[in-house]
């Protein structure tokens, strides 16, 4: 069997990097020859996690066709979020917890999708199904991914399966997950250390909605004030990027991870669709407060998609 690469989405978050490592480990135990790689640098939170559990950062790739014919996707399936030459590769496996909107392949494949809070939750189940033990360090990483994706089990994307997986993994890793989780989330919110460009890039995803190119970024903070003083600069960076990359609409969701609220910064058109999606008016400074909203996947993408379609 020839070697395959395993990776999560571009602008990787903790789950994208950890799920690739976990799935690669599992598949290698089951006889495949795989390597976990990443489609971008780890963000501050992921760097904290890798350092905490003393695990190496995966190699970063831009293209895959030059080294393999086949790949396995985790934590994403939309081609515009994947490796740049995904259309020239054979996808043999997908493990994901996102919508399926434009996925197609020429060959049959293994595809595991579950509407749970984190890809690493599905992988926790798959280790169990295959009777493979999760190594201690890997359990710590997978626990971190679930805490990250579900904001310590508080996001509305959280399911009972995520809660069970957190308990299982915390036991294996021997971690007080609530205490560790707050420390980890805080480590990921250091916005002062990031440039405006890094802020609008580091957790951004592209979507096609009703024929529009929509870019949605999420910035975690522990205090909205961290963003307030830079809001005009951030908006300028968004406008420039939207023009360069042909985004019709660029949204930045600023999420307070401690009290589970968000604020939306909006650049582009149609603004009316954004207002309709959230049943709220944009204020003078092109922002909108979204109390209780923390999940891009569950609370932003679906209403926006409906409003634009």
Please say which residue, 75 or 201, places its beta carbon nearer to Mn ion.
Answer: 75
Q: Which member of 13, 78, 162, 201 binds Mn ion (CB under 5 A)? A: 13
Burial of 20 (0-12, 13-18, 19+ CB in 10 A): buried
- Using CB under 5 A as the binding rule, whether residue 15 contacts Mn ion is answered as yes
**Closest separation between CB of residue 33 and Mn ion, Å?**
25
**Closest separation between CB of residue 75 and Mn ion, Å?**
4
Contacting range for Mn ion; rule: CB under 5 A; set: 12-20, 24-32, 35-43, 186-194: 12-20
Contacting range for Mn ion; rule: CB under 5 A; set: 148-156, 174-182, 236-244, 246-254: 148-156
**Closest separation between CB of residue 12 and Mn ion, Å?**
7
**Closest separation between CB of residue 160 and Mn ion, Å?**
17
- Using CB under 5 A as the binding rule, whether residue 203 contacts Mn ion is answered as no
- Using CB under 5 A as the binding rule, whether residue 96 contacts Mn ion is answered as no
Q: Which member of 5, 6, 16, 20 binds Mn ion (CB under 5 A)? A: 16
**Closest separation between CB of residue 151 and Mn ion, Å?**
12
Give the residue nearest to Mn ion (CB).
15
- Using CB under 5 A as the binding rule, whether residue 149 contacts Mn ion is answered as yes
Q: Which member of 4, 35, 45, 75 binds Mn ion (CB under 5 A)? A: 75
Please say which residue, 35 or 149, places its beta carbon nearer to Mn ion.
Answer: 149
**Closest separation between CB of residue 66 and Mn ion, Å?**
25
Please say which residue, 114 or 275, places its beta carbon nearer to Mn ion.
Answer: 114
Residues that bind Mn ion (CB under 5 A): 13, 15-16, 75, 119, 149
């Amino acid at each position: 069997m020839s070697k395959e690469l395993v990776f999560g989405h571009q602008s990787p978050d903790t789950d994208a990097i950890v799920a690739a490592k976990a799935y690669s480990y599992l598949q290698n135990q089951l006889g495949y020859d795989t390597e976990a790689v990443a489609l971008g640098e780890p963000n501050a939170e992921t760097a904290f996690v890798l350092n905490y559990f003393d695990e190496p950062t995966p190699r970063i790739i831009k293209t895959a066709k030059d080294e393999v014919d086949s790949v396995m996707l985790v934590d994403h399936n939309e081609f515009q979020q994947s490796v740049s030459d995904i259309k020239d590769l054979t996808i043999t496996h997908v493990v994901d917890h996102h919508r399926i909107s434009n996925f197609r392949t020429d060959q049959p494949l293994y595809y595991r999708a579950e509407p749970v809070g984190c890809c690493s939750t599905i992988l926790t189940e798959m280790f169990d199904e295959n009777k493979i033990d999760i190594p201690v360090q890997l359990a710590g990483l997978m626990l971190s991914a679930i805490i990250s994706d579900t904001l310590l089990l508080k996001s509305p994307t959280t399911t009972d399966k995520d809660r069970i997986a957190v308990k299982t993994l915390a036991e294996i890793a021997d971690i007080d997950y609530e205490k560790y989780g707050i420390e980890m989330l805080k480590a990921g919110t250091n916005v002062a250390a990031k440039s405006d460009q890094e802020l609008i890039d580091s957790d951004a995803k592209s979507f096609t909605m009703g024929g529009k190119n929509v870019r949605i970024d999420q910035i975690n903070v522990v205090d909205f004030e961290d963003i307030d003083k830079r809001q005009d600069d951030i908006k300028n960076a968004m406008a420039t990027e939207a023009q360069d990359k042909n985004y019709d609409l660029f949204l930045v969701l600023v999420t307070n991870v401690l009290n589970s609220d968000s604020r939306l910064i909006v650049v582009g058109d149609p603004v009316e669709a954004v207002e309709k999606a959230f049943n709220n008016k944009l204020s003078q400074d092109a922002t909108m407060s979204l109390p209780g909203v923390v999940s891009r996947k569950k609370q932003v993408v679906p209403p926006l998609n409906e409003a634009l379609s």
